[in-house]
Structure 1
C-alpha cells in the first residue's frame, strides 16, 4: 500500500532583499494512512514551511508532494482546491471567526462545501459533543478559554471528514494540562475516524505523548526519521540527541569520566538491574539523572549513570546492562 503522504526530494527557496533563503533542502518523507506523524525542530528548522508544502499553500521550488496518489504539482487549480478539502489544518492561535458563535464556526466549512443548513448544524452538534463543547454552541470565541478555542478549531477542521489533519504548533499557546487534554482528543479522533495526523512542534514531549513516527528537521534538512520509540531509545544524530536529551545537562564537553544513558521499558523495569549490578561488581556508581516518559502510551524510563573510573569494570558494566536488554549509549556529561 502506498503512503497517504509522499514528500519526495522537496526543496523550498524564498527570495528576500538580502538574497535567497533555503528553507527546505531535499526532504523525503513517507507518511502512512493512520499515522500520527510528528515533525520537530527548533525555530528556523523549516517544519512550518514543510507542513504548508503538504497542502500546497507553499509550492515547493523542487520536488513533489503526492497526497493519496495525486501529485499536487500536476493537477489543475480546481482539482487542487478539491484535494485541499481532504487536508484540514489547525493552528497555534486557533483562527476562529470572532463574530460567529461556536456552532457557526464549526458550520463554516460545511457552508462553503454547500451542505444544507439543517444538515450542517446536525453535523456541528455531533462534533461539538465529540470535543466536549456541546454546552457552548451559542458562545462566542471571546467567551472561551484557549483550550476550548482549540477544541472548536478541531471540530471545524474535521467537519468535512478530511483524510489528513495538519497541526501547526497547535498546543504551543496552551498550558501543560490543557496541552495534554488536546493531545488526548487528537489521539481519540485519530482512532475514531482514522484520520492521518501530522503534528508540527518544537517540544519533544508532544512527540513522545502522541506520535508513532517522527521526522527531525535541522536547518531545513532532514536530520533523522523513524519510529518515536526507536529514536528515543537510540538517537543517532546530534540534533536528535539534543531534542531527546532536553531537560538533562548532557553537552558536547567531555570531562574525562565514563557516563552512560540507559533506556528501559515496562518489561525491563521489573528487575532491579542497577542494584543487582552494584552487588555483582561490588562497586558503587552514581545516578546522575533519572526520568520516566510516556512514549505512545507506554512508560519508558531513562537514566544517566556515572561508571567507575577503571575502564575494565566500566566495560563489564556496559556489557552487563546490554545483556539485560537495556539500550545503553555512552554520553558526554558536563559536571
Structure 2
C-alpha cells in the first residue's frame, strides 16, 4: 500500500433538486483511499452509501466538491476522458446484473467487445478470469443455470476483464447466504492480494467490514461520521453512528441492565481460550453475559461480548484488570446507544 491516495474525495456533495424541494444525499465528504486498500463504506439504509459509490465513478455527478482518481479531477474531464477513467474502475452489484441471454464466457467478454478487443483475445482473457474465480467448468453455462454465489463470481470476473485499478462493490453480498458471502469475501481478498487492486466495499453489515476491510468509513445521514482502521473503529467506536453499527452487529440488547456493564472486544491479539471461564475461576465472581458474538479465525479470537459485572466495585475492578492482562480490549458502557 502506498501513501499517496489513489482516490481522494474533497468536500463531496450531492443534492437532488425537484420542482418543489431539494434533498441533500451527501454533504462534506472528505476521504482518502490508498492504493491496495480494501476500504469499507458502511451505514444504515438510506445513509447515502450507494450515492457515494456512484459519485466516485461519476455515474452520479456531484453537485459540489471534488473526486480525484490518480492525478485526474473527474469534474474537469470531457465525456471521452471520463469513459477512459471508468475503464479503470470495475463494479459489482447486489443483483449481479448479468446478461441472461449470454453464457458465462460471453458475459465476461462483453466489456472487452466494447473496448475493441478481438474475439480471440477476449476469449483468452475470459478463460484466465474464470480460472481466477474458480469457474473454469462453467464457461458455456447460462446465468439461469448458476447459483447466486456463482453468478457473483461471474460478475467479479466481468468487472476485472479490462484490468481495472479499482473495484467498487455495492452491497455485493447482500443477496447471498452467510457461507456464500464468506467465500465471495475470501475471493475478493485473494484478488486484492494477487492483483494489488483497490477494493471499495459498500455494505450495511459490520460483519462484512470486519471480515475483509483494513479501513472503514461510517456514513450517517449523508455525512462522514467516523473513519479509520477497522480494528480501531470496531474496538473503540467514538460516534453514536459507529456505536449503533458495532453494537447492533451482534443483536445487542437495547438497554444495559445492572450497575456496571462492559464490552470486551477480541481483535485477534489474544488466543482463543475460555477467557470468561478462566476469569470466573481466577476472580471467584460470576458475571451475566448479556450477549456474545465470538469466532475463532486461525486460532485467534475475534468478536465481542457485553458483560454485566457484580455489584461489588472491588471485584468488578479486579475482573477488568484480569481481562486487560489477557490482551482483551475492555470498554465500560456508560453511554451505550440503543
Instruction: Please report the TM-score for the alignment, with normalisation by the length of structure 2.
Output: 0.91
Cα distance in 2 between the residues matched to 1:191 and 1:277: 39
Q: Is the 8 A contact 1:210 1:295 kept in 2?
A: no
Judging changes above 3 Å, is the alpha-carbon distance between structure 1 residues 278 and 53 closer, same or farther for their aligned structure 2 residues? same
Match for residue 206 of structure 1?
208
Pick one of 11, 14, 18 that aligns with 2:13: 11
Could you tell me how far apart the structure 2 residues matched to 1:143 and 1:276 are?
51
Deviations 1:236-270 (A, max 9, x none): 1122111112223332x454521101123444336
Contact kept, 8 Å, 2:271 with 2:300, in 1: the verdict is: no
Q: Deviations over 1:269-305 (max 9, x none)?
A: 3676545544554433223333224789964142222
Distance 1:180 1:124 in 2: 24
What corresponds to 1:322 in structure 2? 324
Q: Which residue of 2 is the match for residue 69 of structure 1?
A: 71
Distance in 2 between the 1:9 and 1:250 partners? 36
Give the Cα separation in 1 of the matches to 2:101 and 2:250: 42
1:32 to 18, 31, 34: 34
- Deviation for aligned residue 1:230: 1.3
* Structure 1 residues 295 and 85: CA distance shift in structure 2, 3 A: farther
Equivalent in 94, 115, 140 of residue 96 of structure 2 = 94
Q: In 2 relative to 1, CA 226–128 (structure 1 residues): closer, same or farther, beyond 3 Å? A: same
Select the residue among 114, 121, 124 that pairs with 2:123.
121
Aligned partner of residue 316 in structure 2, secondary structure: helix
Residue 222 of structure 2: aligned partner: 220
Secondary structure of the 1:138 match is coil
Correspondence for 1:247 = 250
Question: Deviation at 1:9?
Answer: 1.0
Report how many aligned residue pairs link the two structures. Answer: 333
Q: Single out whichever of 158-167 and 224-233 deviates more from structure 2.
A: 224-233
Provide, for residues 294-328 of structure 1, a one-character-per-residue CA deviation record: whole Å limited to 9, x for no partner: 78996414222211113344234334433443211
1:183 pairs with 2:203: no
Shift of 1:64: 0.5
**Secondary structure of 1:303's partner?**
strand
Structure 1 Cα separation of the partners of residues 179 and 136 of structure 2: 21
Distance 1:180 1:324, change over 3 A: closer
Q: Work out the CA distance in 2 between the residues paired with 1:151 and 1:270.
A: 32
- 1:137 and 2:139 equivalent? yes
CA RMSD of aligned residues (A): 2.3
**Matching residue of 1:309:** 311
Secondary structure at the aligned position of 2:5 is classed as: coil
Note closer, same or farther for the CA distance 1:204–1:294 as it changes in structure 2 (3 Å cut).
farther
In 2 relative to 1, CA 120–180 (structure 1 residues): closer, same or farther, beyond 3 Å?
Answer: same
Secondary structure of the 1:229 match is helix
User: Could you tell me how far apart the structure 2 residues matched to 1:191 and 1:296 are?
Assistant: 18
Q: Which segments of 5 or more consecutive residues in structure 2 lack a partner in the other structure?
A: none
8 Å contact from structure 1 (residues 264, 326) kept in 2: yes
Aligned 8 A contact 1:55 1:87 in 2: yes
User: Residues 294, 280 of structure 1: CA spacing in aligned structure 2 closer, same or farther, 3 A cutoff?
Assistant: closer
Residue in structure 2 matched with residue 52 of structure 1 by the alignment: 54
Question: Relative to structure 1, is the Cα distance of residues 198 and 298 closer, same or farther in structure 2, using a 3 angstrom cutoff?
Answer: farther
Contact 1:208 1:296 (8 Å CA) reproduced:
no
Mapped to 2, the partners of 1:295 and 1:16 lie a distance apart of 50
- Deviating more after overlay: 139-148 vs 77-86: 139-148
TM-score after normalising by structure 1 = 0.92
